Structure formats: structure tokens, C-alpha cells
Structure 1
Amino acid sequence: MTAITSLSASSSTALSAPAVRDSFWIRIAAELAESIARGIYPPGQRLPSEHALAEQFGVNRHTIRRSLASLCSQGLLRATQGSGTYVEDFAVDLVLARRTRHHQNMAQAGLRGALRVLDARNVRATAAQARALRVPARSPLLCLHVLGEAEGQPLHVSERCFPLPRFAGLDDVVRETGSITAGFEARGVADYTRLESRITAQMPEAAVAAHLRQTATRPVLAVESINVDTAGVPIEFALAWFAGDRVTLTVAHDA
């Protein structure tokens, strides 16, 4: 197995102040997370013992324990009492198709999941939002911040914008049902399709990283999408950030 770069003795000597020493666990957690991302520790593999990791990084076991606990809270590791700490093998294959539905993706993966509204507010459309939704600049929009979860794990966080007054009150339905589709149906949209999805890799803002329970130094998959009703009228413009280590995005070229 490829060795993880350890903290050098000179660094340990130079960074001896308590405040800096307390940051060692953050640096170690980041190095372990990077090693997981690179496949040095693949899904399902057991990590070296706390004692071995403490010797490798030149720190005490309490520091290692703190690093591992942080990675467990982010969903990268799982601790099994009496057995050890393992790389989490939780992953979901989400399909981006003409009819992309969160609850259907979860059902196909055999998981329980829903959307949770974090915030809802009325805003004026930016130039990008107005262009995507084909409405005049500064038109009123309903914007939801939504967290998509599966089995208690955050998969994505998104900002979803809908034209007003057509979708006034949609947030109440989504809060109650955990479904954007149910919200559309309540507003008279029986069916809708994905017009386009644009996927990029980027570093997350701090708020996005916090919602996904990962460090801001780990890239996310950003998806910009537009949904339209059966008449081809845009009804939703969304920016979603997916946890790259928990999600595989499959683009389905269906009819």
C-alpha cells in the first residue's frame, strides 16, 4: 500500500504552539480524505490502527482519534467496535435523464431519501436566472435551498428557482412531501422534463461543504439544470452541488 505523507519532524518542532498543535488533527484528516479519494484506501478497506497511524504521523492517539471522528461525521469512514475503522462504501448512482426525479433515483438504488427545504425566499431574478427561465430581468422568483439525503447521508445541496406567481406556495408542498414533483403537481404541472444539465467539478463554498459534511478542500460535482413543462416553458432553474465521493452521476440519453 502506498504510504501517506507524514508530518515531518521539523514541522512538528516548528509548530509546537498549542493552537497550531490542535490543527494537526485537521491536517491529518485532510490527508486521509485525500488518500481515500485517490483510492489508496478503497471502499470497504480497514484503516491502520490508531496506534499505527499515530506513529506514522508522529502524533498521539487522541489526535488520530479526533481526525477519524471527523471523517466518520463526514460519511467517509465508519467505526466498528472491536473491529476497526473502515472506508465507507456508501455510494449512490444518480441518473440525470429527461425525467430526473430524486425519489425515483433513491427507490432504484434501494434507499430511503427525500428533499429537505433549508430555506425559502422570494428574490428578483439575476441575469443568469432570467435567461434560463426566459423571464424579464428582475422578475420575481421563488428560490429554495434544498438538501437531498439518502439514509441520513447528504448527497447534494441545491438552489432551485421557480417563476412567480405561478409557483407561489410550492415551498409549503415540498416541505410537507419532500418532493419537487409533488410541488409541481399541486401547481398544475402534471409532467415536466429536463431541458439540459451542465456538469462541472469545482471547489465548494464553505456553506456547501458544511451541508455536505465534507471539507472545503474536496471538490464537488456542480450541476446546472433547467426543467420545462410539457409546453416547453421553463419552470425551474437549479444549481446543485453533489458530494463527489458519495455520488456517481449517470447521464441517460433516453427519449
Structure 2
Amino acid sequence: MKNPDRTMERRSGISLWRQIADQIRRDIVQGRLGANGRLPPETTLAAHFGVNRHTVRGAIAALVEEGVLRAEQGRGTFVEQRRRLTYPIGARTRFSEGLRDQARDRRGHLLDHREEAADRRTAEALALASDARVIRMDTVSEADGRPVSRATSWFDADRFAGFAETYRELGSVTLAFRRYGVADYFRSSTLVSARHADDGDLDDLRLSPGAIVLVAIAVNVDPEGRPIQFAETRFAADRVELSVTA
């Protein structure tokens, strides 16, 4: 195993195990570790990073919890070779339909909801007055039991009163919209970026600190072109890739 400079920043305020977890993740992606599917022994990794085995063990445990690695008793630690899901983003973006051929069980769960005053960004996205009330929903979507995305969505509180309770019952934004007479809807805009997962993403997507999420900020409109949903969705980058289509 090549040993470029792997000096840990011991006074950076970032735990050593987290720094090592981040580096192992990068080294796997770049082909420097686990090229044959198996990680070197803990003692080798400890020497590689200049730390003790306990610190390496903590980093590996975090990556196992995240799903990047798989530990097998008596055999060692292996790179988890699960194929990333491809999530299409196009004119008719739907979570369940987009993953239909890739996951047998696809469902959403309501984490939290509340009614609040729309801030400037939300009011503009939904074409509402600056003092309008909106429903905010925080949700997490799973594919075959694995959380793959976490979203914050806003809806016009007048037009979609009780939307969060309807979503909780049906587990689908598309089905919930149908209850309100919106039989179809379309994606009018999507802005994609990437960043480190925040604390909420880490908890709800079961990621380890340092994990990357893909962020899609989108507006959906009804067939008449009226905005009906403004959403920011965070996808676990190790589990999902976004495919943008015209």
C-alpha cells in the first residue's frame, strides 16, 4: 500500500477517527485502498495513518454503519460493493417511479412538519405573497430499507391545508397531491450541488461525519404552471447518483 503524506491534524478540532474515516472513503473512491475488495489489517492502517489501532477501529466502525465497509468476523473488512442507485431528474421526477426497477420497496416517512411564514426564497419559489403561510415537511425516503434521501419541502398552506397528515397516511407526495385534485405535476427547475452532510442528514440518512450529500433544490408545478412544491433534497452520495434528463 502506497504511503503518501497522511499526517493527521491533531489540533484541528476534528476527531482523528473522523479524519481517518474521511481519508479511507476518499482512498477507496480513488482506488488507493480496497482495490481487491479488502482493506489492509488494522495494524497496517494504523501505521499508514500514524495512529493507534483503537482510532482506526473507530473509523472503520463508522464506515460500516454508513454502509461503505462490511466487517466479516474472522475474515477482515471489505469494501461494500453495493451498486449506487440512479435517480433520474427530469420533467416528471417521482421518487417511487424513478427507482422502480432498482428497488423493490420504496417509501417515504414524515419526520416533522409545521406551518410557518414563508421566507423570501420560499415565497418567490411558490409565487406567494411575502406574508403567506406555508406548510414545511421534513421527510426521509428509503429504498429496500436503506435511507437514500432526506428532503425539506414547502407547500401553500391555503391550497394544501393538512398536506403533512395526508402524506403521513400515504407515504407519497404524488398520492397526496391527488387527494387535492392535482393529478399530475412537472419539474420546472432543479439546481444540483454537493456539500458535507449536516447533523440532521447524518442522523436520518445514517451517515458518518464527513459524508457527502448531493443537494437538489427544485420547484414542481401543476399542469397550469402554478408552483405547488418547493423542495431541497439531500441524497447520500455513496448510495445515489443523479441522472439529469431533458
Compared with structure 1, are the counterparts of its residues 101 and 4 closer, same or farther at alpha carbon in structure 2 (3 Å cutoff)? farther
Q: TM-score, with normalisation over the residues of structure 2?
A: 0.88
Secondary structure of 1:98 counterpart: coil
Q: Give TM-score scaled by structure 1 length.
A: 0.85
| 1:81 aligns with one of 73, 83, 106 | 73
Structure-2 change in CA distance of 1:234 and 1:84 (3 Å): same
Count matched residues: 244
User: Which shifted more, 228-237 or 24-33?
Assistant: 24-33
Q: Structure 1 pair 239/23, CA: closer, same or farther in 2 (3 Å)?
A: closer
Say whether residues 1:170 and 2:163 are aligned partners.
yes
2:54 matches 1:66: no
Pick closer, same or farther for the CA change 1:6–1:203 going to 2, 3 Å: closer
CA distance in 1, matches of 2:36, 2:165: 40
Q: Aligned partners of 2:123 and 2:71: how far apart in 1?
A: 47
Matches within 5 A, 1:123-202: 123-202=116-195
Confirm or deny that 1:221 pairs with 2:214: yes
What RMSD, in angstroms, separates the aligned Cα atoms of the two structures?
A: 2.5
Note if contact 2:220-2:230 (Cα within 8 Å) is conserved in structure 1: yes
Distance 1:37 1:138, change over 3 A: farther
Q: 1:187 to 1:2 in 2, by over 3 A?
A: farther
Distance across 2 between alignment mates of 1:243 and 1:207: 12
Residue aligned with 1:107, SS? coil
CA pair 39-178 structure 1, distance change in 2 beyond 3 A: farther
Q: How does 1:45-56 map to 2 (within 5 A)?
A: 45-56=37-48
1:210-235 deviation line (CA, Å, top 9, x unaligned): 33333453432111101111111110
Contact 1:106–1:112 (Cα < 8 Å) also in 2: no
Q: How many Å separate the matches in 2 of 1:55 and 1:106? A: 42
Instruction: Determine if contact 1:115/1:148 at 8 Å carries over to the other structure.
Output: yes
Instruction: Provide the identity percentage.
Output: 34
